[in-house]
Chain A
Amino acid sequence: MSEVTSKAQRTIKLKTRRALIAYGFLVIPLLFFLCIRIYPTLYAFSLSFRAHNASGFTLDNYSTLFHDHVFWRSVLNTLLYVIITVPLQMAFGLLIALGIEKIHHFRWFYRVIYFLPYITSIVAVSWVWRLMFDENTGVLNHVLAWFHIAPQGWLADPSEALLSVSIVMIWQAMGFSMLIFMAGIQAIPRQLYEAAQIDGSSSWKMFWRITFPLLNPTLVFLAVTGVISALQTFTQIQNLTAGGGQTAGGPLNSTSSMVVYMFNNAFTNFNMEYASAVTVTLFILILIVTLIQLKIINRSFDY
């Protein structure tokens, strides 16, 4: 009897020891996560309820935010970025993926070409685009001139600037969509196409009845990641519109996104408290969007 209990004790000990070791290893990332993510997040929350250069609880930051037309412009712009870039970068990615699927030689070459923008430095690429967009000397207006089209303002024109920034974002993200779509397409069983061919379906019909529905999980994944990254857009805007004494988001706030507006408040106006309020609003917005998307993502797919 006593031998049994001592054995049991030993196994428990071994179990606890194992668990302890596991926890020990978990502690490292956990601590890292607490210090680098959770603590700053909570700190930003508390900061947003403080007045600038004063102590005490206040809701002033939020009430100012509510009446701040530049903020609302940034919210609108952020939503526009999502609406414009996400569907288009997915559509182009799908088109390219389908195209590459059709060819048999040098497939790797095309894959590399279309994926290249995604792995190039956003900063470097934004500056190249900035020079291409230049009103007076840019290559884009030069090309337009061949077709006798009047030169456009691109980034300099408030009504075109947001679209110009979106073009860069789409161009850069579509390579990623392409890669994911290619993986998705390859996962579709060949037999389905063979069966459809025997039944005499056109390739148009096959796309809409087989490829597209079976790509649903891929579409959802790309939509979720695309929306989140579009909501957080910053680098492209900063590098396309800031510099030489101009803060990012111009001209006339036409390209300012929520993150850009937060950044300008925090680091050009040094108003960390107000910037925190912007961040909290963005946090809530992303949270809502993600919750909705998770609902969709968890829907099961019947094939």
Chain B
Amino acid sequence: MFLVMGLLVLSLTACGGDSEGSSKGKTTITYWQYTFPEKVTEIKALIKKFEAENPNIKVVAQDFPYDQYNQKIAAAMNAKKGPDIMNLFYGWLPQYQKNGYIQAIPEDFMSTKAIDQFYNPMIQSSKIDGKYYGLPTAVRSLALFWNKDLFKAAGLDPEKPPKTWDQLVEMAKKMTKIKANGQYEQEGFAWNVDGQDYHTFEEVLLRQWGVQPFSHDGKKVLWNSSPEGLKAFEYWVNMTKKDKIGDGKFLQGYNTAFKAGKAAMMIDGSFSIAATKEAAKFDWGVTTLPVREEGGTESNYGSYWTNSIAKGVSGAKLKASEKFLKFLISEDTEKEWMDKVGELPASAALGNDPSIIKDPIYGPFVRGLKNAHATMFVDEAKERTAIANAVDKILLKNAPIDQTFEELVKEQQRIRDDYYK
């Protein structure tokens, strides 16, 4: 019996043991990302190139559906079975750092100062206590996509997208089709909260209404620091509530509606270009985000996915991870990434490349980058849920906008206080 038990224990430990690592001088590292088809294909191609340059390193890439990605990492890190490098949305970094899932970029690899100089300045918002916990290959900004066919059908000039928000609402009204019973058949504008539009509210509308959304250290929520903040919020929510130019739940998602030709306009990032090209059976264009009045403040929301090294990675694996990271942020990779994935180069130098700025599709995004602000999230998931719930209360329970807005600001402040306490 003891023999049986002994065998069992042995086999159990063998299963649970560290099966990866270096064999015959070859170091294996794991790279995790979420399943974004263009990125998955591109990473595979990049790894091939990297492995050819570094024959003693093997990179294993794995990807998981977006909805389970965080869950997968949390479970794996708690079981000490996580990846060596992971691709993370910058808004998640504070929580990942706090939970001890990732380590700071080693100073001897790339100093904070060198990172500051190399990159587009907007990535500085993800510094935690003066240190970086991840390096991006690419950055993204938002732009307005419009369906030229639907513009034509509504008698609008298909080459003249709206320049101001008022124009957007006016045009969208002409392209919205609602049945007598209140059901949408077609949206003028693919309004949403949990896609890109809550970023649009926080970083574009608020700023254009003259409100700085957060204090410089990120500790204070300033949405209601002037009455204009509430006005911006009302304007935004009323696009769906009063003006009825779009519904966040129409066709299970704003970009699905646009791609299906059932929404005349949407705000999305350059990462949607490839998918839109593939799915859209209509003529479409991209332009910079609207402003409050012509010649007024331009603003944009910038975001990025970073590559972070997991906590606990050391020795040969750390060196291999650093090498791979260096490869991922090189200018060659950045250029290839833009062509294949549709995200813009993260380095400051490439962001000013005139050939990129002139591109009819990438141009508006690169121009948007100049005024882009990356929100200093402390807990992106909670912050998103809070604003989505506030909007639900207004739309589904008819809660008064002003009171809900005050509660929302308090809730956002509470999330920040929880993090900084």
Task: Chain B residues near A244: list those with CB within 8 A.
Answer: 194-195, 252-253
B108 CB–A CB distance under 8 Å: no
Cross-interface CB contact of B385 among A31, A156, A247, cutoff 8 Å: A247
Stretch in contact with the other chain, from B69-77, B211-219, B320-328? B69-77
**B381 CB to closest chain A CB, in angstroms?**
5
Q: For window 77-108 of chain B, which residues contact chain A by CB distance below 8 Å?
A: 78, 95, 98-100
**B407 CB to closest chain A CB, in angstroms?**
13
> Quick check: B381 and A267 within 8 Å, CB to CB?
no
> Quick check: A151 and B183 within 8 Å, CB to CB?
yes
Cross-interface CB contact of A27 among B4, B70, B185, cutoff 8 Å: B4
B8 CB–A CB distance under 8 Å: yes
Q: Provide the main secondary structure of the chain B interface.
A: helix
Known contacts A27-B5, A27-B8: A252-B396 contact under CB 8 Å: yes
> Quick check: B384 and A245 within 8 Å, CB to CB?
yes
Task: Chain B residues near A158: list those with CB within 8 A.
Answer: 392, 396-397
A103 CB–B CB distance under 8 Å: no
Cross-interface CB contact of B74 among A53, A130, A270, cutoff 8 Å: A270
> Quick check: A242 and B67 within 8 Å, CB to CB?
yes
**A187 CB to closest chain B CB, in angstroms?**
42
In the complex, which range does the number of interface residues on chain B fall in? 35 or more
**B80 CB to closest chain A CB, in angstroms?**
14
Known contacts A20-B1, A150-B181, A252-B392: A267-B382 contact under CB 8 Å: no
Known contacts A150-B181, A157-B396, A158-B396: A245-B194 contact under CB 8 Å: yes
Q: A157 vs B396: C-alpha distance in the bound complex, in angstroms?
A: 6
Q: For window 205-231 of chain B, which residues contact chain A by CB distance below 8 Å?
A: none
A137 CB–B CB distance under 8 Å: yes
Stretch in contact with the other chain, from B24-32, B243-251, B275-283? B243-251
Q: A150 vs B74: C-alpha distance in the bound complex, in angstroms?
A: 44
**B157 CB to closest chain A CB, in angstroms?**
28
Q: A268 vs B382: C-alpha distance in the bound complex, in angstroms?
A: 9
> Quick check: A269 and B382 within 8 Å, CB to CB?
yes
A215 CB–B CB distance under 8 Å: no
B182 CB–A CB distance under 8 Å: yes
Q: A58 vs B108: C-alpha distance in the bound complex, in angstroms?
A: 40
A189 CB–B CB distance under 8 Å: no
Count of A residues near B, CB < 8 Å? 37
**A46 CB to closest chain B CB, in angstroms?**
14
In the complex formed, the residue of A with least CB distance to B381 is: A268
B168 CB–A CB distance under 8 Å: no
A184 CB–B CB distance under 8 Å: no
A136 CB–B CB distance under 8 Å: yes
Task: Chain B residues near A135: list those with CB within 8 A.
Answer: 183, 247, 249
Q: Provide the A138-165 mask, 1 if CB < 8 A to any CB of B, else 0.
A: 0001000100001101001110000000
Q: A245 vs B382: C-alpha distance in the bound complex, in angstroms?
A: 11
> Quick check: B381 and A269 within 8 Å, CB to CB?
yes
Q: A145 vs B183: C-alpha distance in the bound complex, in angstroms?
A: 11
A266 CB–B CB distance under 8 Å: yes
**A129 CB to closest chain B CB, in angstroms?**
13
Q: Provide the A88-131 mask, 1 if CB < 8 A to any CB of B, else 0.
A: 00000000000000000000000000000000000000000011
B12 CB–A CB distance under 8 Å: yes
In the complex formed, the residue of B with least CB distance to A145 is: B181
Q: For window 242-270 of chain A, which residues contact chain B by CB distance below 8 Å?
A: 242-247, 250-252, 266-270
> Quick check: A28 and B397 within 8 Å, CB to CB?
no
Between A131, A266, A270, A272, the greatest number of chain B beta carbons within 10 A of the residue's beta carbon is seen for A270
A134 CB–B CB distance under 8 Å: yes
A35 CB–B CB distance under 8 Å: yes
**A202 CB to closest chain B CB, in angstroms?**
47
Q: A37 vs B382: C-alpha distance in the bound complex, in angstroms?
A: 31
Known contacts A28-B8, A246-B388, A267-B75: A156-B249 contact under CB 8 Å: yes
A24 CB–B CB distance under 8 Å: yes
Task: Chain B residues near A137: list those with CB within 8 A.
Answer: 183, 251
A207 CB–B CB distance under 8 Å: no
> Quick check: A27 and B1 within 8 Å, CB to CB?
yes
Task: Chain B residues near A266: list those with CB within 8 A.
Answer: 74
Extra pairs beyond A131-B252, A136-B185 (19, CB < 8 Å): A23-B1, A27-B5, A28-B4, A28-B8, A130-B252, A135-B247, A136-B183, A136-B247, A145-B181, A151-B181, A151-B182, A151-B183, A243-B252, A244-B194, A246-B388, A247-B385, A267-B71, A268-B70, A272-B74
The 6 A-B pairs at the shortest CB distance, nearest first, are namely: A245-B194, A267-B71, A136-B184, A24-B1, A251-B392, A136-B183
Chain B residues close to A by CB (< 8 Å)? 1, 4-5, 8, 12, 67, 70-71, 74-75, 78, 95, 98-100, 181-185, 194-195, 247, 249-253, 379, 381-382, 384-385, 388-389, 392-393, 396-397
Name 22 interchain pairs, CB-CB below 8 A, sorted by A.
A27-B4, A31-B12, A134-B249, A136-B183, A136-B185, A150-B181, A151-B183, A158-B397, A242-B67, A243-B252, A245-B384, A246-B194, A247-B385, A250-B392, A251-B392, A252-B392, A252-B393, A267-B71, A267-B74, A268-B70, A269-B382, A270-B74
